[in-house]
Structure 1
Amino acid sequence: MQAKALTDEYNTELYTYSTYQHRFKGKLRQMVLAEMKEKPNHYFSVNELTELVLIQDGQEPIIQPQHTVSVRGALKHWLDKGVIERLEQGVTNVRWKLKV
């Protein structure tokens, strides 16, 4: 509340300042990997993983666009490390699975 008040005094007509807020309380990359390890042969969608991670993090499973962007970033990290694999069945149907 006080952080919002600090940024309000600098706002102009053309630009509004905003403070950064963490989307997840825990470590997102580890939570994503833990959820995938529970079902190693399952192909997850980003929304499915986001919902599971939100529940594990103790939040309401209401998915916002910022949540999916964060989860996609964590999945990209593990993909680059070679820990998970990506299955693309079309532009909008992308699934992720833990490499066994």
Structure 2
Amino acid sequence: MTVGPPGTGTREKDREDSDARVIAPNQKDAKGRVGVAVTYDDPTLPKGSAGFGGYFVFDPVTYRFLGFRDTRTSGDGAARKTYTQLSYLDSWAVVDKVKQRP
């Protein structure tokens, strides 16, 4: 097993499933918090496709969800560009009814 940034993380395979999860430590969310990123290879995608590409980032101690990291591409040929899209969860709340504000 290897450990590293997205694309080179630890790969775990289930005995029953054909999907594989990738664990990548030391990943940052959009707010700059360092955590553990988790992704998987989607078994429903056609063979040879690039995979899911998104990483869910969690706090390495509490496992609280911190944010999301995604690698995207646009254009084709010489104009093809790859960029990283980041998001983070700043706060959350629970309410009793739909459309109720905390």
Q: What is the TM-score of this pair, normalised by structure 2?
A: 0.23
Larger RCO of the pair (alpha carbons < 8 Å, separation 6+): 1
- The structure where helix makes up a greater share of residues is 1
- The structure where strand makes up a greater share of residues is 2
